[in-house]
Amino acid sequence: MREYKIAAIPGDGIGPEVISAGLQVLETLAEQDGGFKLSVERFPWSSDYYLERGYYIPTDGLERLKQFDAIFFGAVGALNVPDHVSLWGLRLPIAQGFDQYANVRPARVLPGVRSPLVNGKDIDWVIIRENSEGEYAGNGGRTHRGLPIETATETSVFTRAGVERIHRFAFELAAKRPRKHLTLVTKSNAQRFGMVMWDEIFFEVANDYPDVTTDRELVDAVTTRMVLKPQTLDVVVATNLHADILSDLAAALSGSLGIAPTANLNPERVFPSMFEPIHGSAFDITGKGIANPVATFWTAAMMLEHLGEKAAADRLMAAIEQITAAGVFTPDLGGTATTASVTEAVCKALAQQVKKAA
């Protein structure tokens, strides 16, 4: 029996609600499959934990996480901790410490879901976000606090190694898709150094992938293209900040932030990769039992695929699509379902698949 060790970090807000739902669905899948087993350990690292102890991740935390095959992450962020403290306390140390440089964000309008776009069905994108450097490298400083000359810098960092590996990753992924099209997102008109190198290296790497067609778009212009001509995009590669913003737009255009998944990959598999819904803690709906768990289920499917359980991942996606087609929606999608009822519906759809196959 294949066995995978999963580190679950539910975190804050609706994180624990959606991660519990995700684990329930994963357990159901593993039981039905019979070919693999998941051994899950839950880590209590959260903002409450931080407020009690002064740290999110204990000193040996990353060493412990390293033993796992994958990390299943909820969300971090609380009203009583500044966001930059929570983000840099929990999520970024894992993503950076494990060199999860490729952030993969698929966007698609699931059956039955209504896009705010009339031509929403044309959305079938994968946004690749550089996840280790760029604008979020953490390179900056602040001096003369409170004085009129107070100064702060936030310097983007682009390295040849970092830029080349994300472009190569994007080309590899684009080459495996039916349309084999990759769009380079940039801002090299206004930013003359890092962004110009970003473009140059893209076209160097492109020489190794003659089958992949490419184009280049400025980040501001690509937002209009996402809205007005969604069918012209396939795979998109963008910097840490740009892709962060574009992927929330992609999620909204696909129907809701509550369905959008993401994978933070260490493609070389030296370290475990981390899988999470792209949404945050969602304070406004925490504890109400109405968080949409679909983003987390889709995330779980990406995790299974990464672990090599493609058949189970496909079954999970089929079950998700079956319940969205049937209109089992939480309020963010205009329905009245709860986290629990959506989870039950997906488990039931999985059980039906097994019956059909038998």
Q: Using CB under 6 A as the criterion, which residues of the chain lie in contact with ligand NAD when the complex forms? A: 14, 18, 75-77, 83, 87, 91, 257-258, 276, 279-285, 291-292, 295, 330, 332
Distance CA 133, CA 142 (A): 20
- Minimum CB distance to ligand NAD, residue 5 (Å): 22
Backbone angles phi, psi at 302, to 5 degrees: -65, -35
- Minimum CB distance to Mn ion, residue 52 (Å): 27
280 binds, among ligand NAD, Mn ion, none (CB under 5 to 8 A by kind): ligand NAD
244 binds, among ligand NAD, Mn ion, none (CB under 5 to 8 A by kind): Mn ion
Question: What distances in angstroms separate CA 54 from CA 8, 9, 46, 58, 85, one per listed residue?
Answer: 21, 18, 11, 10, 11
Q: Are 260 and 278 in contact (CB under 8 A)?
A: yes
Strand residue runs (E) in 135-189: 140-143, 151-154, 181-186
242 binds, among Mn ion, ligand NAD, none (CB under 5 to 8 A by kind): none
Nearer to Mn ion, 214 or 256 (CB): 256
Q: How far apart are the first and last CA of the chain?
A: 21
Rule CB under 5 A: which residues touch Mn ion? 244
**C-beta nearest to Mn ion: residue:** 244
Q: Are 100 and 265 in contact (CB under 8 A)?
A: yes
284 binds, among ligand NAD, Mn ion, none (CB under 5 to 8 A by kind): ligand NAD
3-state secondary structure of 282: coil
Element of type H or E holding 51: helix 47-53
CA 333 to chain centre: 19
- Minimum CB distance to Mn ion, residue 278 (Å): 6
- Minimum CB distance to ligand NAD, residue 154 (Å): 17
75 binds, among ligand NAD, Mn ion, none (CB under 5 to 8 A by kind): ligand NAD
Q: Are 170 and 162 in contact (CB under 8 A)?
A: no
Nearer to ligand NAD, 254 or 281 (CB): 281
Nearer to Mn ion, 33 or 244 (CB): 244
Nearer to Mn ion, 55 or 283 (CB): 283
Nearer to Mn ion, 244 or 276 (CB): 244
- Minimum CB distance to ligand NAD, residue 295 (Å): 5
Integer-rounded Cα Rg, in Å, for the chain is 20
State the amino acid at position 192 in one-letter form: R
Distance CA 5, CA 225 (A): 41
Q: Show the tokens assigned to 265.
A: 């990959």
- Minimum CB distance to Mn ion, residue 86 (Å): 13
Nearer to ligand NAD, 205 or 253 (CB): 253
- Minimum CB distance to Mn ion, residue 254 (Å): 15
Nearer to ligand NAD, 15 or 162 (CB): 15
